[in-house]
Amino acid sequence: MISLDDVRSDSVRYGPLAYVATASRRGEPHVAPVAVAWFGDSVLTFVRTDSRKVANLRSNPRASVHFAVGPATNWDSCIVWGSVSIIEDDASRGSLWDKMGYDLSPFEPGGPTASTHVFLRIEPDRALILRNYGMAGREQWRR
């Protein structure tokens, strides 16, 4: 078993882009690319309020984050599963506004009090690191 710190350190190698997977009330999967950032022990992303991700999470607050596989990481990957909180009140959005590692203003010109975007905060409860698609090993973490 590895630690959540190990997962966080490894996932940084993949860069700030990942895929978030959610499921609708009927169980229909939805996967979308997003920019992510670690904030303490949580994964953050900033998405449109009217997105399918948010609609799915309102009825099923579970998601997975899959950090991209590619030749630059020797085909390693990292997947994190957890419970999601939708951060949509002005004060909380304001406190997270500068935590993503890039300027959010081009995506939300109205600033943190505009209601067209929300933060998703994924609280991990398990993770898997696959080395070279799993052929070179698997490392797991569970809360």
69: pLDDT confidence band, cut at 50, 70 and 90?
confident
User: Three-class SS of residue 63?
Assistant: strand
> pLDDT tens digit string along 22-68?
999 999 999 999 999 999 999 999 999 999 999 999 999 999 999 97
> pLDDT tens digit string along 88-132?
999 999 999 999 999 999 988 889 998 899 999 999 999 999 999
- Would you state the pLDDT for residue 84? 98
- Please state, rounded to an integer, the average pLDDT across all residues of the chain: 95
Cα–Cα distance, 141 to 124 (Å, whole number)? 10
- Asked if 138 contacts 1 with a C-beta cutoff of 8 angstroms, the reply is no
- Would you state the pLDDT for residue 68? 79
Q: List C-alpha distances in Å: 126 to 43, 48, 55, 64.
A: 13, 26, 23, 10
* DSSP H helices in the chain: 4-12, 52-59, 90-96
Please give the DSSP secondary-structure letter assigned to residue 133.
G
- Would you state the pLDDT for residue 90? 93
Domain ranges of the chain: 4-142
Kindly tell me if the per-residue pLDDT of 20 is higher than 90: yes
> For residue 3, what are its two tokens?
């630690």
Residue 38: how many CB atoms within 10 A of its CB?
A: 19
- Asked if 24 contacts 59 with a C-beta cutoff of 8 angstroms, the reply is yes
Locus of tokens 């067209």: 116
2: pLDDT confidence band, cut at 50, 70 and 90?
very high
Q: What angle do CA 96, 61, 116 make, to 5 degrees?
A: 45
CATH architecture for residues 4-142: Roll (2.30)
- Would you state the pLDDT for residue 47? 96
